[in-house]
Chain A
Amino acid sequence: MARQARRWRAGAAGMAVLGLTLTACGGAKVGDSSSDAGGSGGSAKCGTFNLAVNPWVGYEANAAVIAYVAENDLGCKVTKKDLKEEIAWQGFGTGEVDAVVENWGHDDLKKKYITDQKTAVDAGATGNEGLIGWYVPPWLAKEHPDITNWENLNKYAAKFKTSESGGKGQLLDGDPSFVTNDEALVKNLNLDYKVVYAGSETALIQTFRKAEKNKEWVIGYFYEPQWFMSEVPLVKVKLPDYKEGCDADAEKVACDYPVYTLDKIVSKKFADSGSPAYDLVKNFSWTNDDQNIVAKYIAVDKMTPEAAAKKWVEANRLKVDAWLK
């Protein structure tokens, strides 16, 4: 017993000495340099700004730039939340999300949250035009220029056959949250195609990437603005022209998708709060090219969203200043 106690004491003393030695050669202490951690003094006015980040790179570009400006020019504390659209909109009601900054249509959500529950309001367009449609890889459009018109699609249907398309041509659709009329379109335009659901944007992009590289026959749903276009400039297939109301009945659609005006949605609470971040979101507006550049920085050049935003903002100070007026 006594021997054990002695060992104990020896051990403890040894450790204490070791500890003290290590402590003595310490270094900078946590919290010493508080100057850069606290941020600018304006944060009290702006407070916390909860920004939803929906899962595609174009959206991330919008969010990165808005967050960067809000943090550096307005002194807001920006909390980014990675969420799918549906859940982001839910967050308006619970006060957990202040803004969604690239919304594609979603009339059902607008009805539910803006009209019925009154927890969200429209904050105007982002300046981006959203194109949806059918695309083919560039090599295909080059070798068979007539393929970019829907009327010739049946001629090539056999070429687009895959193990999934049951003997018809395959029209590849993407993520289930995308707006799509493709099944109705195929039926109503009498096309010899079957819509196959890839199930994710990743699957869609990987398929197109491989198709361009190996000269494979692929036709599928895609959209602009999209960073992938800067890697592989897909070519849009012409569908019958869109006319107001031609897509009113989902079963009978036989025309192209309309050009979407992408917009921003904010929570009612945020809009009424008088936060400078709300004015920023409301005034934010840029072009498809602007977005594609930032998206390319993120997706292709693998910059962090913050670094990508910084690079663009520094090069486009005039545009940014216009949002801050």
Chain B
Amino acid sequence: MTVVVEKTEPPGRPEKTRPAEEPAPVREPRRVSRPMVIGAILLVWLVLFVVLRGKQTLALGAADLTDLHRWFNDVNDSIGANRNSNPLFLYFFNEIRLVIDTLVTFVQELISQPSVDRPLPQIGWLGVVGLAGYLSWAFGNWRVALLAVAGFTFLGLQGLWQESMDTLALTVSAVFVALLFAIPLGVWAGLSDRVNRIVTPLLDFMQTMPTFVYLAPLTLFFLIGGASATIATVIYAAPPAIRITAHAIRNVPETTVEAADSLGATRGQALLKVLLPMSKRTVVMGVNQTIMAALAMVTIAALIDAPGLGKTVVQALQSLDVGTAFNAGLSIVVLAIVLDRVTTAASTREEEARRSKNRFLAWRRPLLGAGAVLTAVLVFMSHTYVWAAEFPGEGGVGSSIASAADTTTTWVQDNLSGVTNTVRDLITNGLLNPFQSLLTDSPWWLVGAVLIALGVVLGGWRAGLTTAVCVGLLVATGVWSDSMTTLASTVVATVLVMLLGIVFGVWMGRSRLADRMLRPSLDAAQVMPPFVYLVPFLALFGATRFTAIVAAIVYAAPVAMKIIADGVRNVPATTVEAATSAGSNTWQIITKVQLPMARGALTLATNQGLIYVLSMVVVGGLVGAGALGYDVVAGFSQGQLFGKGLAAGLAIVLLGVMFDRITQAAARRTSA
């Protein structure tokens, strides 16, 4: 459900921009401008809406099913009924499960769970903290090592040591399995255009399909618990590593490869000696994104009994215990920040070491050796002595953070709900309701035609064709009306995301200080599990579509801000200076120079904003947004609605693909 920064990689997945749109349609004499065409389309839509309102809307009741949904149900049932006799299960799925289960149990017994003959895990807290510090230092630098030690100690002080280690164990196993497939696949996709073309839509699918949809079927295939949770996480977390590895291989300068060729290197040699070493830095970024995505799955996987922090969050949600949920959420954020900074430092270590020729370099090897010995001693002690194995103390820090969080939310709820209700009603009545009724009360073919026309105008014929296919498939899923309701909320949320993105993005782009101050909270907003802030948002905005929109904004706005800030910063300083010397004031510089020149970044931000908002649709379903999100949650909860939930999940994917293709194509046009 939650992708973390993956898509903010520099100029957005360039692998797709390659050969596709090269021979741009020849149409020089454009008489009408694009905004005018769009205006005309919208006008025609409005007129026809007034005439045809309420006809052929393809509405479907909450409990109604189509034949497709029933067929999905039957498939699901027959899998469940035959799983003990089917050879595919006995010799394939069960084997996979066995291997992964063994791996997960092994890592858990190492750091989080008591093993067979011991009441405590093999390595206690002191050993884990020591290892974390040593590895961070060896692969990164001493600053991130300090961060790692402090972060891990904080987990213990929160009183959540074992839960955190369970989460870490699951994340480590999932990332390990994901990379096992992702790196080779990524290399292959990097070397071959055809593989890349086949893999890309599959990766889109894996990332946009709501996790809720395949969580229940996964337990059919791989049973309840660690193995299923790991596999669900792998499915969600592997795509970034594949994409970024492929991207890295592709970006190795051709001249270098040619040089290797001319020296007589074989394909294998060129790969191992030239391509991989040269793309190592970017590949590590891919690993980083996979780790972040895996952590984002922690709370969702808890719904099928995955151990760890997610469980604490989900249980606290049941009794509306904001403090406890916040505690566990904070631990996830700390884990994420530590792992993020360490892997980032690891990816830049060699370059930095080369640049800073300091005298410690000569000492590095002996120091590394000494550190290894010290770490081994710590591990040994944490294996042997209780005080080093069990984190001491009662987690007092945790309970005081929890009560502070409780007090804050109560104060906010008591004092701000008047303001928030006004904002909610304003946006719901002024923007959301009219737009939603335009989408849901128009005949389906009219909305479809408008979408296709907009696709053509904004993105070209190819994007129009994709839109047409998506519209057709959306109708086939049988949840057209719900899709339109979701579409309305998604668009409204994206508009708000872009407003915030431009305001804060420009500010961050123009001021280093603002950037440095805001960035940590943006990171936290992206990694904090949404389940944590659902309760306060419910208190502020009630169980409404607007609550879902706010949750989506919290998650999607940081991405938009980061991209826009980058875009603004990349506007050449000379251009800004020229404008200043020509007498432009700050407002003019922003609106006439910086924003227009960052147009590429703005379109990319819109693209990512939309995709991120869409990934929150299911969470929205939990707080009163209804529509596709509710269908997906219902499918997860009730057997007879499984098929409908699956169809709703597919509809979310289709909406995502449609937007992605249109905005990508539009971005290519504006930057061309």
Contact = CB atoms under 8 A, between A and B. Distances in A.
Interface of A: 4, 7-8, 11-12, 14-16, 18-19, 22-23, 26-32, 34, 37, 55-57, 60, 81-87, 90-91, 93-94, 96-97, 108-109, 112, 116-117, 162-164, 172, 175-177, 183, 195-207, 209-210, 214, 227, 250, 298-300, 302
Contact of B622 (A84, A164, A202): A202
Contacts of A86: 216, 636-639
24 contacts: A8-B365, A8-B366, A14-B370, A15-B377, A19-B377, A30-B119, A30-B383, A31-B118, A32-B386, A55-B314, A60-B318, A81-B224, A82-B314, A83-B224, A84-B303, A108-B639, A116-B81, A163-B425, A163-B546, A195-B62, A199-B625, A202-B317, A202-B318, A207-B542
A29 B224 contact: no
Contacts of A206: 320, 535, 538-539, 543
Contact of B381 (A23, A81, A205, A227): A23
B374 A18 contact: yes
Contacts of B311: 82
Contact of B543 (A22, A83, A199): A199
Contacts of B105: none
B370 A87 contact: no
A36 to B, nearest CB: 9
Contact of A26 (B220, B381, B639): B381
A33 B425 CA distance: 62
B535 A31 contact: no
Given A176-B641, A197-B624, A199-B625, A207 B538 contact: yes
Given A81-B305, A172-B543, A199-B625, A214 B417 contact: yes
Given A19-B374, A202-B320, A214-B417, A96 B369 contact: no
B629 interface: yes
Contacts of A83: 224, 303-305
Nearest to B366: A7
A30 B639 contact: no
B319 A57 contact: yes
B544 interface: yes
Nearest to B418: A214
A73 to B, nearest CB: 22
Given A82-B311, A298-B319, A23 B377 contact: yes
Contacts of B117: 31
Interface in B395-432: 413, 417, 424-425, 428-429
Contacts of A34: 119
B contact face: mostly helix, strand, loop, or mixed: helix
A56 to B, nearest CB: 6
A184 B152 CA distance: 54
B321 interface: yes
A164 B216 contact: no
B62 A200 contact: no
Q: Pick the most buried of B120, B317, B624, B633: most chain A CB atoms within 10 A of its CB.
A: B624
Contact of A97 (B84, B224, B626): B224
A69 B633 CA distance: 34
A238 to B, nearest CB: 25
A4 B385 CA distance: 35
A86 B637 CA distance: 6
Given A12-B369, A163-B429, A198 B387 contact: no
Interface residues of B, number: 83
B291 to A, nearest CB: 24
A111 B120 CA distance: 43
B630 A11 contact: no
Interface in B497-526: none
A143 B521 CA distance: 45
B224 A94 contact: yes
Contact of B63 (A11, A175, A183): A183
A108 B637 contact: no
A198 B224 contact: no
B256 interface: no
B370 A30 contact: no
B286 interface: no
A27 B386 contact: yes
Interface in B147-204: none
B363 interface: yes
Contacts of B538: 202-203, 206-207
Contacts of A85: 637
B242 interface: no
Contact of A202 (B225, B413, B535, B630): B535
A135 to B, nearest CB: 15
Contacts of A94: 83, 223-224
A93 B124 CA distance: 37
B373 interface: yes
Given A11-B370, A31-B118, A199 B624 contact: yes
Contacts of A209: 320, 539
Interface string B208-237: 000000001001100111000000000000
Contacts of B319: 57, 227, 298-300, 302
A281 B501 CA distance: 56
Given A86-B638, A163-B428, 11 more contacts: A22-B381, A23-B380, A30-B120, A30-B384, A86-B216, A197-B62, A198-B543, A199-B621, A200-B623, A202-B534, A214-B417
Name which of A14, A60, A108, A207 has the most chain B CB atoms within 10 A of its CB: A207
A231 B385 CA distance: 45
A157 to B, nearest CB: 18
A26 B370 contact: no
Nearest to B547: A203
A83 to B, nearest CB: 6
Q: Which 5 A-B pairs have the closest CB atoms?
A: A176-B634, A177-B637, A19-B377, A11-B370, A299-B319
A176 B630 contact: yes
Nearest to B119: A37
B246 to A, nearest CB: 35
Nearest to B374: A15
Given A22-B377, A94-B83, A96-B224, A175 B637 contact: yes
Nearest to A19: B377
Contacts of A15: 370, 373-374, 377
A37 B626 CA distance: 48
Contacts of B261: none
Given A19-B373, A196-B624, A299-B319, A4 B366 contact: yes
A209 B417 CA distance: 14
B545 interface: yes
B386 A12 contact: no
Contacts of A200: 534, 622-623, 633
B367 interface: yes
B522 to A, nearest CB: 26
Contacts of A112: 77, 639
A209 B320 CA distance: 11
A319 B622 CA distance: 38
B463 interface: no
B318 A84 contact: no
Given A11-B366, A30-B119, A30-B383, A204 B543 contact: yes
Residue of A22, A84, A109, A199 with most chain B CB atoms under a 10 A cut-off = A199
A110 to B, nearest CB: 11
Given A37-B119, A82-B314, A83-B224, A162 B544 contact: yes
B389 interface: yes
A11 B367 contact: yes
B321 A302 contact: yes
B229 to A, nearest CB: 11
A197 B641 CA distance: 15
Interface string B634-647: 10111111000000
Contact of A176 (B216, B384, B433, B638): B638
B384 to A, nearest CB: 6
Interface in B85-133: 117-120, 124
B56 interface: no
Contacts of A117: 80-81
